[in-house]
Amino acid sequence: MQNLLIEKTNSTPYINFNAVSGVLQIKGESFPENAAKFYNPVMEWLREYLDCTSEQTTLDFEIVYFNSSTSKIFMTIFDVLDEEVKNGKKIVVNWRCDGENETAIECGEEFEEDLRYLPFNIILF
Amino acid sequence: MDNIFSREEQIISRAEALLGTNSFQSAKDASNYRVLLDEYKILLRQMMKIVKMADKTQLDLKIVSEKLNRLSHIDVLTGLYNRRYFNEAYVKEWNSAVRSQKELAIIMIDIDYFKKYNDTYGHLQGDECLKAVADVIKKAVKRPRDLLARFGGEEFVVLLPETGLEGAVSVAQDVLFLVNGLDIEHAASPLQKKVTVSLGVAATLPQNNLAKEELINNSDKALYLAKSSGRNCYKEY
């Protein structure tokens, strides 16, 4: 399976999903005009990847700023992953944020609150 | 309303009630209804979270934007308003004075022999001198609407709404007195070896047909007069 690499722009994050290492990275700011359109290929790649992997997968989120549409997409992703972990997949999410960015930390906690199976680590730097 | 989602919650209560009344034609219908209701609850919870996060982010942005706005108006060294803010405020006060037909006055203040001060004591002490002078001018400018700004390097400007020449001269005298009272040593100054200022005072009754810059130019001319008449004094124009 091919890796997914999307360079960052002013309004969209850097995305580097590596199917071999199982490290999926999303980094930067996310306020695309059309979040569904931007994240569609990302979601598709993720679904396809999850269909064929049984290896340990790590999702690294390092998002400084994101809009509401993006938070909806993230919730959808976390729901999918939660379900996968329930069914036996080994997945971990790392929500990385600046220790001084209270909002980013609190948003991480909001996401974490609704998950039942998916390990969700808030990692401060 | 203690909750912006009270209508959504009412819908959930009604649906729960409906499930409790056994009014479904079959157990399967009831069970499908239950599944949909649970989905709805999850999605509503998501929506509440999204709104909460958005509110928080928007508040952050608002605070940052206010901070930037403040920074863009303030001179970092002296804490006074900067030239940009003065220009904006000046146009507003001018227009307001045209409408109210009240006088507007300006005092232009310049530290005497400041270049020599910097050459003698270095730029860091020059900064301290600027701060000290800015602080005493602040004391002389008392009314809430009066505006004191750093106009340039060692130049300050005071904008006095609803003030004629006489009132402005009184403020200029206070500034002169207070700066002299600071007693900052200035070995390279021929004026009693201490830091002094020169002031140019001008006032006018703003009219629509007058150029806004005229008043500023006049206070500049008055400052020039003060400089050429020996400094450490004020002149009117």
**CATH code of the domain in which B179 resides:** 3.30.70.270
The boundaries of the domain holding residue B49 are 6-71
Mutate to test the interface with A, among B39, B50, B61 (most CBs of A within 10 A): B50
* A54 at B interface, C-beta within 8 A: no
Contact flag A75-B53 (C-beta cutoff 8 Å): no
- Report how many Cβ contacts below 8 Å link chain A to chain B: 34
Q: Of chain A residues 86-115, which have a CB less than 8 A from chain B?
A: 103, 106-107, 110-111, 113-114
Q: Say what the pLDDT of residue B226 is.
A: 97
**Tokens representing residue B207 in the block:** 């009219």
Checking if the pLDDT of B77 tops 80, the result is yes
Chain B environment of A106 (Cβ under 8 Å): 53, 56
Indicate if the pLDDT at residue B7 is higher than 80: yes
The number of folded domains in chain B is 2
Domain termination site, one of B44, B71, B98: B71
Q: Give the residue-averaged pLDDT of B112-125.
A: 96
Catalytic residue among B8, B16, B66, B154: B154
**Do both B102 and B149 map to the same domain?**
yes
Residues B51 and B88 in one domain: no
Q: Does B57 share its domain with B96?
A: no
Residue B236 pLDDT > 90:
yes
Residues B48 and B110 in one domain: no
Cross-chain residue pair B45–A75, CB shorter than 8 Å: no
Determine the distance from the C-alpha atom of residue B229 to the mean position of all C-alpha atoms in its chain, rounded to a whole number. Answer: 35
Beta bridge partners of A25: A16, A60
Rounded to a whole number of angstroms, the distance from the CA of B43 to the nearest CA of chain A is 10
Q: Has residue B110 got a pLDDT over 90?
A: yes
Average pLDDT score over residue span B67-73: 92
In tens, the pLDDT along B209-222 reads 888 999 999 999 99
Q: Which residues of B171-181 are buried (b: 16+ CB within 10 A; e: fewer)?
A: bbebbbebbbe
**Could you tell me which of B66, B92, B72, B76 has the C-alpha nearest to residue B84?**
B72
Kindly report, residue by residue over A53-89, the tens digit of the pLDDT. Answer: 888 999 999 998 999 999 999 999 999 999 999 999 9
Q: What is the CA radius of gyration of chain B?
A: 32
Pick the residue of B41, B44, B57 with the most A CBs within 10 A to test the interface with A by mutation. Answer: B57
Q: Tell me yes or no: is domain A4-124 CATH 3.30.750.
A: yes
Q: Please tell me whether residues B216 and B118 are part of one structural domain.
A: yes
Asked if B53 lies within 8 A of A71 by C-beta distance, the reply is yes
As a dihedral over the C-alpha atoms of residue B45, residue B49, residue B52, residue B53, rounded to 10 degrees, the angle is -170
How many CB atoms neighbour CB A72 within 10 A?
Answer: 18
Whether B154 is catalytic is yes
Indicate if B209 and B163 belong to the same structural domain.
yes
Domain residue limits, chain A: 4-124
Q: Are A103 and B54 an interchain contact pair (Cβ–Cβ within 8 Å)?
A: no
Q: Between chains, do A71 and B52 touch, taking CB under 8 Å as contact?
A: no
Tell me: do B91 and B48 sit in the same domain.
no
Residue of chain A minimizing CA distance to B49: A110
Tell me if chain B has a CB within 8 Å of the CB of A7.
Answer: no
Q: Among all chains, which residue has been given the structure tokens 């379900």?
A: A83
Segments of chain A with pLDDT less than 50: none
Look at B54 and A71 and tell me if their CB atoms are within 8 Å. yes
For chain B, where are the E strands, in sequence order? 104-111, 147-150, 155-161, 197-204, 234-236
Q: Answer yes or no: do B96 and B66 share one domain.
A: no
Residues B46, A65: C-beta atoms closer than 8 Å? no
| Residue B66 and residue B111 share a domain | no
Say whether pLDDT at B140 is over 70: yes
> Tokens at residue B7, please?
């209508």
**Mean pLDDT of the residues in chain A:** 94
Closest Cα of chain B to A37: distance in Å? 19
Nearest to A110 among B42, B49, B60 (CB): B49
Whether residues A110 and B46 touch (CB distance < 8 A) is answered with no
Rounded distance between C-alpha atoms, residue A3 and residue A45, angstroms: 9
Q: Does position B1 have pLDDT exceeding 90, yes or no?
A: no
Q: Write down the mean pLDDT value for chain B.
A: 94
Whether residue B77 is contained in a domain is answered as no
Sign of CA dihedral A28, A30, A36, A37: negative
Q: Which among B18, B47, B71 is the end of a domain?
A: B71
